[in-house]
Copies of this chain bind each other. A is one copy, B any other.
Amino acid sequence: MNAPALTKNQALVFEVLEKADGPLSAYTILDKLRDHGFRAPLQVYRALEKLLEYGVVHRLESINAFVACAHPDQNCHSHGIVAFAICESCGHVMEFHDHEVDHRLMNWTRGKKFKAEKTTIEIRGLCETCAA
């Protein structure tokens, strides 16, 4: 899924996520965009839906928040499964990929004849700075 030109709302939401130094909830995004005419959650959710589809934004299931993809340039969907390390203290998120993990999980699902559509890997804990 490659990203076509973003619409106005999509661009606004994406910009907010890019500028943030951590994940944001949909309602936080909404608040940051009130000055730009946003009034309702759906405006945010609809934009997010597309941005997720284009692979330029990720959803963090374990904290109900959204974050801009760490690879602005490339298509994130081509990296296989994306894993996240989320600091519970400062909120900072690190994104990474591990093909061996992908492989092991795929192996397991294949053995069970389970058709995987979307895989979530999220590690919550403390980043180096906050753990010190």
Residues on A facing B (Cβ under 8 Å): 61-62, 83, 85, 87-88, 94, 96, 98, 100-101, 104-105, 108-109, 112-128, 131
Determine whether the beta carbon of B101 is less than 8 Å from that of A123: no
Inter-chain CA distance A85–B85, complex, in Å, is: 21
Contact residue among B100, B105, B112 (Cβ-Cβ distance under 8 Å from A94): B112
List chain B residues, Cβ under 8 A from A85: 108-109, 112, 114, 116
Candidates B94, B114, B121; contact of A128 at CB < 8 Å: B114
B126 with A117: CB separation less than 8 A: yes
**Which of A113, A115, A122, A125 gathers most chain B CB within 10 Å?**
A115
Please give me the residue from chain B that is nearest to A98 by CB atom. Answer: B104
- How many copies, total? 2
Query: Which residue in chain B gives the minimum CB-CB distance to A96?
Result: B108
**CB < 8 Å neighbour of A61 from B61, B109, B117:** B61
Task: Report the bound CA distance from A127 to B123 in whole Å.
Answer: 25
- Interchain CA distance A124-B59 in the complex, whole Å: 14
CB distance B117 to A120 under 8 Å? no
Partner of A105, one of B83, B115, B116, B119: B83
Tell me which residues across on chain B come within 8 A of A112, comparing CB atoms: 85, 94, 127-128
How far is A78 from B117 in the complex, measured between Cα atoms in Å?
Answer: 29
